[in-house]
Amino acid sequence: MKIREATRNDFDKIWPIFSEIAAAGETYALSRDITKAEAQVIWLDSPRKTFVLEENGEILGTYYIKTNQAGPGSHVCNCGYMVSSAARGRGVATLLCEHSQEIAMQLGYKAMQFNFVASSNEGAVRLWHKLGFSTVGRLPKAFDHPEKGYLDALVMYKWLGD
């Protein structure tokens, strides 16, 4: 498995992962019928950088990194991660998150914040805690899960160091 910076040509392979996750409506605050063009802006065009993890030419996962807030908050980055349903349980999310922390420090960020983690996404919450993130906030009933209804969204944070 290799992690590399994404190119515009990669979006055709990212799109099936993105669209499946968005359509499910269980983990991201995205429109369930988002278009490919809208998704490309969110995932590839707007972030500071986007990466893919590939194996034998197949993209198994992807993440973006961007500045979370401007000005006095610009030392904190935000990342979003997506893993192909076929690759879940293989450590892809762990590799992506560890890589993103290295990239964050190379880009000069001092901390990483996840703004809106669905509390029902127990695997992600468990992994983020394992990788040193703390839950620093809880937004009551902020996430409208398609089956479970209104659930809390978590704000998670990790100081990356000086």
Domain at 99, CATH number = 3.40.630.30
Is residue 10 situated within a structural domain?
yes
Residues across the chain:
162
Is residue 96 situated within a structural domain?
yes
The domain tally of the chain equals 1
Is residue 26 situated within a structural domain?
yes
Q: What is the reported pTM?
A: 0.95
Is residue 138 situated within a structural domain?
no
Is residue 90 situated within a structural domain?
yes
Residues contacting residue 130 through CB under 8 Å, at least 6 positions apart: none
Is residue 75 situated within a structural domain?
yes
Boundaries of domain holding 96: 2-113
- pLDDT tens over the chain, length 162 residues: 899 999 999 999 999 999 999 999 999 999 999 999 999 999 999 999 999 999 999 999 999 999 999 999 999 999 999 999 999 889 999 999 999 999 999 999 999 999 999 999 999 999 999 999 999 999 999 999 999 999 999 999 999 976
